[in-house]
Structure 1
Amino acid sequence: MSVRKVRYYVFLKDVLALSVTAFGGPQAFLAMLLERMVKNRAYISEDELWELNALCNILPGPSSTQLISAIGFRVGGPNLAYLALFVWILPATLLMTATAVLIQFLQENTPGALGFARFIQPMAIGFIIFAAQKTISKMVKSTEAMILMLISAFVSFFYSSPYIFPVMLVLGGLSTSIKYKNQPKAEEDKSLEIKWANFYLWGGVLILAAVAGAITNYQPILLFENFYRNGSLIFGGGQVLVPYLYTEFVDFKHFLSSEEFLTGYAISQGIPGPTFSISSYVGALSMREFGLTGFLVGGLVSAAGIFLPGIFLIFFVIRFWDQLKLYRPVRAALEGINAVSCGMLIAAAYLLFEPLEANALHIFFILGTYSLLQFSKISSPMIILAGIGLGILANYLGL
Structure 2
Amino acid sequence: MTIKKVKYYLYLKDVLLLSVTAFGGPQAFLAMVLDTMVKKRNYISEEDLWELNALCQILPGPTSTQTISAIGYRIGGPNLAYLSLFVWILPATVLMIAAAFLIDFLQENTPGALSFAKFIQPMAIGFIIYAAQKTIFKMVKTSEATVLMMMAAFISFFYHSPYVFPILLLVGGLTTSLNYKSHPKQKGDRKLMISWANFYLWGGILVFAAVLGALTKNQSILLFENFYRNGSLIFGGGQVLVPYLFTEFVEFKKFLSSEEFLTGYAISQGMPGPTFSISSYVGALSMREYGVVGLLTGGFIAAAGIFLPGTFLIFFVIRFWDQLKKYRPVRAALEGVNAVSCGMLIAAAYLLFEPLDSNLFNVLAIFGTYILLQFTKISSPLIIVIGVLAGIGYNWIF
* TM-score > 0.5, shorter chain as reference: yes
Partner SS state of residue 356, structure 1: coil
Cα deviations by residue, 1:267-309 (Å, 9 ceiling, x for unpaired): 0000100000000000000000000000000000000000000
Tell me if structure 2 keeps the 8 A contact 1:192–1:320.
yes
The residue that corresponds to 2:245 in the other structure is 245
The residue that corresponds to 1:166 in the other structure is 166
Cα deviations by residue, 1:189-244 (Å, 9 ceiling, x for unpaired): 23210000000000000000000000000001000000000000000000000000
The residue that corresponds to 2:65 in the other structure is 65
How many Å apart are 1:320 and its aligned residue?
A: 0.4
**Amino acid corresponding to residue 69 of structure 2 in structure 1:** S
Cα deviations by residue, 1:77-128 (Å, 9 ceiling, x for unpaired): 0000000000000000000001001001001111011000010000000000
Cα deviations by residue, 1:128-172 (Å, 9 ceiling, x for unpaired): 000000000011000000000000001111011000111111111
Structure 2 residue 313 is the aligned partner of structure 1 residue 313: yes
Tell me if structure 1 keeps the 8 A contact 2:5–2:76.
no
Tell me if structure 1 keeps the 8 A contact 2:213–2:222.
yes
Cα deviations by residue, 1:350-384 (Å, 9 ceiling, x for unpaired): 00000000111111110000000000000000000
The residue that corresponds to 1:131 in the other structure is 131
The residue that corresponds to 1:9 in the other structure is 9
The residue that corresponds to 1:359 in the other structure is 359
Matches within 5 A, 1:224-243: 224-243=224-243
The two structures have a TM-score, normalised by structure 2, of: 0.98
Partner SS state of residue 232, structure 1: helix
Aligned partners of 1:190, 1:394: CA distance in 2, in Å?
A: 63
Matches within 5 A, 1:1-399: 7-397=7-397, 399=398
What is the aligned-residue RMSD (CA, Å)?
0.9
For structure 1, which segment, 188-197 or 202-211, has the greater mean C-alpha deviation from structure 2 after superposition?
A: 188-197
Partner SS state of residue 20, structure 1: helix
Aligned partners of 1:178, 1:104: CA distance in 2, in Å?
A: 49
**Amino acid corresponding to residue 101 of structure 2 in structure 1:** V
The percentage of aligned residue pairs carrying the same residue is: 75
Aligned partners of 1:354, 1:232: CA distance in 2, in Å?
A: 28
Partner SS state of residue 22, structure 2: coil
Partner SS state of residue 247, structure 1: helix
Aligned partners of 1:187, 1:253: CA distance in 2, in Å?
A: 50
Aligned partners of 1:145, 1:252: CA distance in 2, in Å?
A: 29
Q: Could you tell me which runs of 5 or more consecutive residues in structure 2 were left unpaired when the two chains were aligned.
A: none
Residues 6 and 233 of structure 1: CA distance in aligned 2, closer, same or farther (over 3 Å): closer
Cα deviations by residue, 1:24-59 (Å, 9 ceiling, x for unpaired): 111110000000000000000000000001000000
How many Å apart are 1:5 and its aligned residue?
A: 9.1
Partner SS state of residue 189, structure 1: coil
Tell me if structure 2 keeps the 8 A contact 1:188–1:327.
no
Partner SS state of residue 330, structure 1: helix
**Amino acid corresponding to residue 352 of structure 1 in structure 2:** L
Partner SS state of residue 148, structure 1: helix
